Structure 1
C-alpha cells in the first residue's frame, strides 16, 4: 500500500456515547479494520477519536461511528482531516 493511500481523520462524536462501551467497541472495530489511533471520552460528554489507515478502512470506521455500539445514540459526528498518529495500534486514552 502506498503512503498516499493512507488517511487520518479526527472524529468528535456527540449523543449518548459515554457509559455504553463506545470506546471499547471503537477499539474492537479499529483493530478489526487494521487502523491505528486512539479514542477517549471528553468531559463535555462527547467521544473523540483519531483513526488512520487505508482510505477504505477509515471510511468504514467513520460509517460505524455514526451508529456506534448497540446501546449508543449518536446524534452527530464531526469528521476532519488530521495528522497520522505516531504510534502503531489503537488505544483508549484517559478522559480529557
Structure 2
C-alpha cells in the first residue's frame, strides 16, 4: 500500500473534477478523498496498491472532459488506512 497527496491546478473547479475523480478511484480500487481548495486548485489523497495509485496520479494529470490541468504536485505520505473514496468539504 502507498499513499500520495496531489494538488491539481488549472481549470479544475466547476468541471465535475471531484465526482469524476471519485468514479475513477472506485474503478481502480483506490481509497481516499478529493476536495476543492479556496485558491481554485483540487486536493486529493490516493491510497492503495502502487499500480492503482500511480494510475490515479496519471489520471488527474488530464482529469475529466472540460478540465484543463496545468500542473500536478505529488507528495508521498505514509498510508493511514483510508477506506472508500469520498468528496470532502
TM-score, length of structure 1 as denominator length: 0.89
Of the three residues 43, 48, 51, the one matched with 1:48 is 43
1:16-55 paired onto structure 2 within 5 Å: 16-55=11-50
SS at match of 1:20: coil
In structure 1, the gaps of 5 or more residues are: 1-5
**1:36 to 1:26, Cα distance in 2 relative to 1, 3 A:** same
CA-based RMSD of the aligned residues comes to 0.8
Aligned residues: 89
Structure number with larger C-alpha Rg: 1
After TM superposition, the score normalised by the length of structure 2 is 0.96
**Map 1:1-96 → 2, pairs under 5 A:** 6-94=1-89
Moved over 3 A (4+): none
**Unmatched runs of 5 consecutive residues or more in structure 2:** none
